[in-house]
Chain A
Amino acid sequence: MIEPGLYNYWIVVILMMAGFFIVMSHGNLVKKIVGLNIFQTSVFILYISLSKVSDATAPILDEAYSEYSNPLPHVLILTAIVVGVATSALGLALIVRIREAYGTVEEDEVIAQDPDL
């Protein structure tokens, strides 16, 4: 039985598996980085979904409200987003260097040129 309230988490699982599958199955290095990004994004959504409290408002102090959503996961995930951006940038920079060295961004063609990898 799928509860509608868990909709977010189903999206998380689908994105996570899709990203993970792309990383594993694709030989194109750029696509691997894209897959990795999707995989990481799913975790961002997981954290953000966790912090939502039903019928609560944004954590800004106001007399009209007594229940607030938890802001901490948002802050945590901001850090993780920054890490994700740095990882993608570094991965793409490596791909540029790999293309300069091998003339291709396909993993199997790289391995064909250096069989002991």
Chain B
Amino acid sequence: MIADHLPALQVVIPLLAAPLCVLLRWPGPAWALATAASWATFGVAVLLLIAVLEQGVLSYHLGGWEPPWGIEYRIDLANAFVLLIVAAISAVVLPFARRSVAVEIPEDKAYLFYCMYLLCLTGLLGIAATGDAFNVFVFLEISSLSSYVLISLGKDRRALTAAFQYLIMGTIGATFYLIGVGLLYAMTGTLNMVDLAQRIPAVADTRTVQAAFAFLVIGIGVKAAAFPLHLWLPNAYCYAPSVVTAFLAATATKVSIYVALRILFTVFGPAFSFETLEIDIVTVPFALIAMLLASTVAIFQTNVKRLLAYSSVAQIGYMVLGISLGTVTGVTAGIVHLFNHAMIKGGLFLALGCVFLTLGSVQLRDMAGLARRMPWTMAAFVIGGLSLIGVPLTTGFISKWVLIQATLEKGLWYFAVLILASSLLAVVYVWRVVEAAYFRPVPESAAEVSEAPLALLVPTWLLILANVYFGVDTSLTLGVARRAAETLLGAAA
């Protein structure tokens, strides 16, 4: 009975928990409720993935209204996988949040933090669950508005400006998406994604549909921070509270990439996106520039949070490149990197959160000799860093392996060379942190710090060990990603 309502529960649990957090008021109970809600959504996400693996596509009709008139939650392998990523990251990050919030956010505002966090989670899960193009916009704005608030809660006053910049760019992106949906509705009279896919071919030659495509791709590109639409990202990640950075870096851009996948493959179809409009002519060069340029910029950062933020822009380049190849292997690479990068960056930003919460700074010069004083934290950072570079036995290697396979499949060997070059740049920026932490002497003026508390280390190591685990056992990640890619491309029956 309740199993029939899993797709709705996925979104409704955090949505209902959010106002309850406001009613609870005290930070402790609000945190407990948020964590319980987040773990419940994680459970639902696991059950959903199992159900989809067993039964195929789940279609849930909200309020009992039949699609295409009513809103449909349509869960196939691609979004069940994304739901699992978002719910899992949130379930790991929230235990970490308690201490981060206690240090970085005034106590009287803590319950509002948890409310906003849950709303952001609701929005991200909703985007992934829904099969309705307009519903995506609504959830996109729920997650965006709450993430502007979460970013602005950073202690540094620059967090305010960063949140404002993100608000301006994010709203423009979302409005572009809205224009695109409106134009599609004008031509087809439907908002349901599956229904849209059936009706678009008849009107695909019109300029309205092509303009709609452009608006949708650009709009979602801003939210996904795809180069050159990434300008909001470094500041937003850099000045947000530690836990917010870890959560958003691991989930928000990933969900937007998923929406891009839906638009390109489900709504318009690969034939329209890649043969009629040849979107890869635009996206491939930008993805390559992102991989090389953002990695290079990352090398010159002195703030490690900012360094990782630029690295994120480069990593999104990998995902865009994989998707732009338009083949099953390419899309598999994009989807599997979506999952792997969520774990890599989630783990790394949590490790940095440990540093920030004990040391009070994430500047490179303040981290000199830190490995002797915080060995466990820095060891986590090193393993995460290795995964970011793509060393074998880590998840990063799996992503790059599949991506390089996809490029070679198309005979684009020079892309493979560029991917390797970008990995070498990653070696340099990860090394800069390692060099500072392991090989430089502790400055005499440095404050006395010791290892981060267990409450912070356990979530961090959970994600880091997941990196190693999924680097060895790829049956879940790679297997699901490949089947999801086949579904998206319509290759599987």
- Pick from B172, B178, B235: contact of A80, CB under 8 Å: B178
- Pick from B157, B164, B167, B175: contact of A114, CB under 8 Å: B157
- Near B by CB (< 8 A), chain A positions 14-59 give 20, 23, 29, 32, 36, 39-40, 43, 46-47, 50
Interface residue B405 (Cβ < 8 Å from any Cβ of A): no
- Pick from A39, A79, A97, A98: contact of B172, CB under 8 Å: A39
A43 engages B160 (CB within 8 Å) = no
For the complex, what is the distance from the CA of A80 to the CA of B161, rounded to whole Å? 25
Task: Write out, one digit per residue, whether chain B residues 153-182 have a CB within 8 A of any chain A CB (1) or not (0).
Answer: 000011011111001100110110011001
Q: Which residue of A lies closest to B140 (CB)?
A: A83
- Near A by CB (< 8 A), chain B positions 24-74 give none
**A117 touching B161 in the complex, CB below 8 Å, given contacts A80-B178, A94-B152:** yes
For the complex, what is the distance from the CA of A97 to the CA of B167, rounded to whole Å? 14
Q: Which residue of B lies closest to A86 (CB)?
A: B145
Q: Please give the distance in Å from A85's CB to the nearest CB on chain B.
A: 11
Contacts of B185 in A (CB 8 A): 50, 73, 76
A98 engages B168 (CB within 8 Å) = no
B182 engages A73 (CB within 8 Å) = yes
**A43 touching B182 in the complex, CB below 8 Å, given contacts A91-B164, A101-B160, A114-B157:** yes
Q: Please give the distance in Å from A110's CB to the nearest CB on chain B.
A: 6
**Total number of B residues with any Cβ neighbor in A under 8 Å:** 27
A32 engages B138 (CB within 8 Å) = no
For the complex, what is the distance from the CA of A95 to the CA of B138, rounded to whole Å? 24
B182 engages A46 (CB within 8 Å) = yes
Contacts of B161 in A (CB 8 A): 98, 110, 114, 117
Q: Please give the distance in Å from A61's CB to the nearest CB on chain B.
A: 17
- Pick from B152, B163, B175: contact of A39, CB under 8 Å: B175
For the complex, what is the distance from the CA of A23 to the CA of B169, rounded to whole Å? 10
Interface residue A8 (Cβ < 8 Å from any Cβ of B): no
Contacts of B179 in A (CB 8 A): 43, 46
Interface residue A90 (Cβ < 8 Å from any Cβ of B): yes
For the complex, what is the distance from the CA of A86 to the CA of B164, rounded to whole Å? 14
Interface residue B134 (Cβ < 8 Å from any Cβ of A): yes
B172 engages A23 (CB within 8 Å) = yes
Q: Please give the distance in Å from A57's CB to the nearest CB on chain B.
A: 19
B138 engages A79 (CB within 8 Å) = yes
Interface residue A102 (Cβ < 8 Å from any Cβ of B): yes
* B interface: dominant SS: helix
Task: Write out, one digit per residue, whether chain A residues 86-117 have a CB within 8 A of any chain B CB (1) or not (0).
Answer: 11001100110110011000000010001011
Contacts of B149 in A (CB 8 A): 90
For the complex, what is the distance from the CA of A29 to the CA of B164, rounded to whole Å? 9
Q: Which residue of B lies closest to A95 (CB)?
A: B164
Q: Which residue of A lies closest to B146 (CB)?
A: A90
**Total number of A residues with any Cβ neighbor in B under 8 Å:** 30
B167 engages A117 (CB within 8 Å) = no
Contacts of A114 in B (CB 8 A): 157-158, 161
Q: Which residue of B lies closest to A20 (CB)?
A: B172
A23 engages B160 (CB within 8 Å) = no
Most buried by A among B137, B149, B158, B178: B178
Q: Please give the distance in Å from A18's CB to the nearest CB on chain B.
A: 14
For the complex, what is the distance from the CA of A82 to the CA of B179, rounded to whole Å? 16
Q: Please give the distance in Å from B206's CB to the nearest CB on chain A.
A: 14
Q: Which residue of B lies closest to A76 (CB)?
A: B134
Q: Please give the distance in Å from A109's CB to the nearest CB on chain B.
A: 11
A87 engages B145 (CB within 8 Å) = yes
For the complex, what is the distance from the CA of A90 to the CA of B172, rounded to whole Å? 15
Contacts of A91 in B (CB 8 A): 164, 167-168
B175 engages A97 (CB within 8 Å) = no
Q: Please give the distance in Å from B181's CB to the nearest CB on chain A.
A: 8
**A102 touching B157 in the complex, CB below 8 Å, given contacts A90-B145, A90-B148:** yes
Q: Please give the distance in Å from A96's CB to the nearest CB on chain B.
A: 10
Q: Please give the distance in Å from A3's CB to the nearest CB on chain B.
A: 15
A43 engages B152 (CB within 8 Å) = no
Interface residue B103 (Cβ < 8 Å from any Cβ of A): no
Q: Which residue of A lies closest to B158 (CB)?
A: A114
Contacts of A36 in B (CB 8 A): 168, 171-172
A117 engages B171 (CB within 8 Å) = no
Contacts of A83 in B (CB 8 A): 138, 141, 145, 174
For the complex, what is the distance from the CA of A87 to the CA of B168, rounded to whole Å? 9
Subset of 12 A-B contacts with CB under 8 Å: A23-B172, A29-B164, A36-B168, A39-B172, A40-B175, A80-B137, A87-B167, A90-B145, A90-B148, A94-B160, A97-B160, A114-B157
Return the 3 tightest CB-CB contacts between A and B, nearest first. Answer: A101-B157, A83-B141, A94-B164
- Given contacts A23-B172, A83-B174, list 17 more A-B pairs with CB under 8 A: A23-B168, A29-B164, A40-B171, A40-B175, A46-B182, A47-B182, A50-B186, A76-B185, A80-B137, A87-B141, A87-B145, A94-B167, A97-B160, A98-B160, A98-B164, A114-B157, A117-B158
Chain A contact residues, CB within 8 Å of chain B: 20, 23, 29, 32, 36, 39-40, 43, 46-47, 50, 73, 76, 79-80, 83, 86-87, 90-91, 94-95, 97-98, 101-102, 110, 114, 116-117
